[in-house]
Structure 1
Amino acid sequence: MSDRRSEDPSGDEPSSSPISDEVWEQFIRDNERSIRDSAPKEPSARARMVTERLKCEGAPPEGWRTGPTGTPKKGRRRKAWAIIGVPVAIAVAVVAMKPSLLPGDPFGSGADSGAGASSSPLPAESTKPTAPPAAADPDVPTLDEPFAGSPALRWADGEAGIVLPKATAVGAVPKDKVELALRQTRKLLVDANLNPKVVAGARPVAALSVLDPKQPGLIDDLNTALRSPSEAHDPLSMFSRFDPAEVRLVGDVIKTRGRITFKKGKFDAVAVHADYTFVYPVVRTDGSTEVTRTIVRRVIDTELPDPVHYNVTSGRLMVVKYDEDAGNSACDVNDGYLHPQFPSQAPSASATPSGPAVDPYDRSRDIGKESGDCGTVSRT
């Protein structure tokens, strides 16, 4: 081992105090570390990427036996008044005169869309449509015919429209677990959107019962939204509700169309994807017989994590993501209810449309990506 002697800055003889190589190298390392620790740091490209991904996903990585810890990703809700957008209205009129202009098979059925098929029920939706439904006859909805003039006239009634696919094992997830995930997701959709009491403002007890209370934030947020609705906590993001003092359903039928699929998910689980549109015919409670419709589309992703591997409640759903799009509902009200506009009414000045016109029956478009502005709908 050699000795490193300290240098005297005066130029005299070196000091006789020996400093070993190990001590000297430790001194250098400590000083370098101190400089590094005190210097401003720019995050690495990977660190920035991970941070951005976690911001987008809203969840940190899950660990063994810790359970899925992230809150579900909630899309921005987009409400739209029932004001006919002129360009869209023209397009609808052209299609009405010549339906062959529509690309693909908008109903996913291959059936003729002519007059002979105008009232025949559509088969269940099996794939994503490639275009909006053709224009229906321009009939005005009435108390006796609340779906007159609507593509939903041919849709299924209520729960009959939520058809579950045949369950099969997915990877290590057995068939019975897949069946359970599908049934629980269907129960959530039915109670949240088709239960007459819930639609009239009651608490969605059955829907809440399938959600995992161990998922951070979800149940608490939904309870807050139901108890004290606000822009930040809106129950309409998960549940379809009308103010019973303002409107009521016409009849006992809510039209339903959509599809539900499954695949292997994270968390040793099966992932279920549901995409459904619900059409609600309503009338005011002031004695009026004027009928209008509100159209709500929901896209929800759920998983059923394995309780053997994760700290979750067995048989309860984890909500990964949910998006909602409401056609013909006031944009400027955050009281937890859908507020449809009737043809004889004009929207309030504060609800002046600022977003693009959309067709609420168009199931070929993606939702959850709109700006959130108040837009217009081409038909109800």
Structure 2
Amino acid sequence: MSTAPPPERSDQPDEPAAISDEQWDTFLRDTVEGGGPPGPKEPSARARMVARRLREEGEREAAAAAAGRRFGRRRKAALAPTEPPGWRTGPTRQEKRRGPLWAVLGVVLAVAVCLIALRPSLVLDHIPGGRSAGETAPSSAAPGDTDGEATLAHPFRGTPAEAWGEGADAIELPEAKAVKGFSEVDVALALRLTKEYLGGTNLDPEVLRGGRPDKALALLDPKQPGAVQQILRSLRDPDAKNDPAMYVSRFDYARVRPAGDVVKVRGRMTFAAGRPGEVKVHADYTFVYPLVQRASGDGRVARTIVRRDLTTTLLDPAKWTSTKGKLAVRSVSTYNYNSECDVFDGYLHPVFPGDAPTGAPPTGDPHDPYDWNGTVPRDDCGRITRS
């Protein structure tokens, strides 16, 4: 009998077992010489093909396994220096714990950068020497000139005001917060009344064409009559001492008309606790008015610029003689740019390009009306570098 290992079995159960060549030769020899067991049945051609295929696949798998053992470590050693940690193999346990945390921190940082870009006050309000709480516009030097000349279609062209906000919407209120003796609701009321007063004295179309600022005056406390009486006196009998332009922006529409219906506005508003029972609101705003002459009809645009520095107060009736829900004007400083000097008829008179002023010539150091550095100039009628 042959000592060869048993034949390989097919993975198909219905196929007969394959017989090796060595077994077949032994059978033939025993048959010729006589004796020996009966010969095995010769496998079919299909059986031989399946057996050969299985042997070849086994040999290929063995060769592949041997090749992997021979070259696998060298390949890994060659790639190791160029692979970042965790590549293919995944993060370590420490990295798995740290990964989500860093992802969250990254998102938070990205959101913070976007918020600061949109609202710098979120940082400046908490930096010593930064912006005060409640400030809605930065105090900064005016940007440089832009290209082009003003036209009726583009009356602010060539000035920084072209990028400013428009009308009352540009008077943005700071977030109200409670201060000593006043709730958040009280502070919000003081801010809102101050905004309405600014609009009523500087943006109301009826007032701009020469009317009385009745809506603004109705906001003021009748028990604090000083400001009301002063404004009414100046409107009734304007002169150098009682000049309504100190309080109200008005133009003589018999001589000029607006170049469009837009007034550009930029400024800031802050609030703080004042004396016991008093909350103070400080507003510093610049208004830019574009106008054209009615008589000439040549389309030349002049811009008169008014900067008002206003302080109002809301008083507690329990501590002061005052009316609940009414505003008091504590101080106002005004500077009018590109308006005739020493003309006190109750109106602002713009100086148009190419025209010489009819009143007294401007005096003092030149000043940029779009510059927000420093305080409001105190010159009665100063020179300006541009309008």
TM-score (norm 1): 0.65
Shift in Å at residue 229 of structure 1? 1.1
Shift in Å at residue 375 of structure 1? 1.9
Structure 2 alignment gaps of length 5 or more: 1-117, 121-133
Q: Distance in 1 between matches of 2:119 and 2:362?
A: 35
Question: Residues 244 and 346 of structure 2 are in contact (CA less than 8 Å); yes or no, is this contact kept in structure 1?
Answer: yes
1:94-131 per-position Cα deviation (integer Å, ceiling 9, x unaligned): xxxxxxxxxxxxxx988xxxxxxxxxxxxx9745423x
Question: Residues 267 and 310 of structure 1 are in contact (CA less than 8 Å); yes or no, is this contact kept in structure 2?
Answer: no
Residue 363 of structure 2 corresponds to: 354
Residue 141 of structure 1 corresponds to: 150
Structure 2 SS opposite 1:222: helix
Equivalent of 1:215 in 202, 213, 224? 224
Q: Distance in 1 between matches of 2:385 and 2:169?
A: 27
Shift in Å at residue 353 of structure 1? 2.5
Q: Distance in 1 between matches of 2:291 and 2:298?
A: 11
Shift in Å at residue 245 of structure 1? 0.8
Q: Give the residue type in structure 2 aligned to 1:346.
A: A
Q: Give the residue type in structure 2 aligned to 1:174.
A: S
Residue 152 of structure 1 corresponds to: 161
Q: Distance in 2 between matches of 1:221 and 1:299?
A: 17
1:334-356 per-position Cα deviation (integer Å, ceiling 9, x unaligned): 011100100121123x5223211
Q: Give the residue type in structure 1 aligned to 2:250.
A: R
Shift in Å at residue 216 of structure 1? 4.0
Q: Distance in 2 between matches of 1:310 and 1:327?
A: 38
Residue 259 (structure 1) aligned with residue 268 (structure 2): yes
Question: Residues 296 and 327 of structure 1 are in contact (CA less than 8 Å); yes or no, is this contact kept in structure 2?
Answer: yes
Shift in Å at residue 136 of structure 1? 2.1
Shift in Å at residue 259 of structure 1? 1.0
Higher fraction of helix: 2
Residue 40 of structure 1 corresponds to: none
Question: Residues 242 and 338 of structure 1 are in contact (CA less than 8 Å); yes or no, is this contact kept in structure 2?
Answer: yes
Q: Distance in 2 between matches of 1:127 and 1:223?
A: 31
Q: Give the residue type in structure 1 aligned to 2:151.
A: T
Q: Distance in 1 between matches of 2:150 and 2:385?
A: 16
Question: Residues 128 and 364 of structure 1 are in contact (CA less than 8 Å); yes or no, is this contact kept in structure 2?
Answer: no
Equivalent of 1:309 in 301, 305, 319? 319
Q: Give the residue type in structure 1 aligned to 2:241.
A: A
Q: Distance in 1 between matches of 2:275 and 2:294?
A: 47
Q: Distance in 1 between matches of 2:135 and 2:276?
A: 29
Q: Distance in 1 between matches of 2:143 and 2:269?
A: 23
Residue 329 of structure 2 corresponds to: 319
Structure 2 SS opposite 1:242: coil
Equivalent of 1:377 in 358, 374, 384? 384
Identity of aligned residues (%): 45
Question: Residues 267 and 305 of structure 1 are in contact (CA less than 8 Å); yes or no, is this contact kept in structure 2?
Answer: no
Counterparts in 2 of 1:195 and 1:343: CA distance versus 1, 3 Å: same
Q: Give the residue type in structure 1 aligned to 2:371.
A: D
1:311-367 per-position Cα deviation (integer Å, ceiling 9, x unaligned): 11111111111111111001120011100100121123x522321110001111201
Structure 1 SS opposite 2:350: coil
Q: Distance in 2 between matches of 1:340 and 1:109?
A: 35
Residue 246 of structure 1 corresponds to: 255
Equivalent residue runs for 1:58-97 within 5 Å: none
Q: Give the residue type in structure 2 aligned to 1:202.
A: G
Residue 213 of structure 2 corresponds to: 204
Q: Distance in 1 between matches of 2:203 and 2:273?
A: 28
CA RMSD of aligned residues (A): 2.0
Equivalent residue runs for 1:161-310 within 5 Å: 161-286=170-295, 287-310=297-320
Structure 2 SS opposite 1:325: strand
Residue 336 (structure 1) aligned with residue 346 (structure 2): yes
Question: Residues 307 and 335 of structure 2 are in contact (CA less than 8 Å); yes or no, is this contact kept in structure 1?
Answer: yes
Equivalent residue runs for 1:10-89 within 5 Å: none
Counterparts in 2 of 1:153 and 1:256: CA distance versus 1, 3 Å: same
Structure 2 SS opposite 1:331: coil
- Structure 1 or 2, whichever has the larger Rg, is 2
Q: Give the residue type in structure 2 aligned to 1:378.
A: T
Structure 1 alignment gaps of length 5 or more: 1-107, 111-123
Number of paired residues?
Answer: 257
Q: Distance in 2 between matches of 1:346 and 1:237?
A: 24
Structure 2 SS opposite 1:258: strand
Question: Residues 135 and 270 of structure 2 are in contact (CA less than 8 Å); yes or no, is this contact kept in structure 1?
Answer: no
Residue 50 of structure 2 corresponds to: none
1:63-112 per-position Cα deviation (integer Å, ceiling 9, x unaligned): xxxxxxxxxxxxxxxxxxxxxxxxxxxxxxxxxxxxxxxxxxxxx988xx
Instruction: Give the structure, 1 or 2, with the largest relative contact order (CA under 8 Å, sep 6 or more).
Output: 1
Counterparts in 2 of 1:138 and 1:109: CA distance versus 1, 3 Å: farther
Q: Distance in 2 between matches of 1:144 and 1:347?
A: 25
Question: Residues 271 and 279 of structure 2 are in contact (CA less than 8 Å); yes or no, is this contact kept in structure 1?
Answer: yes
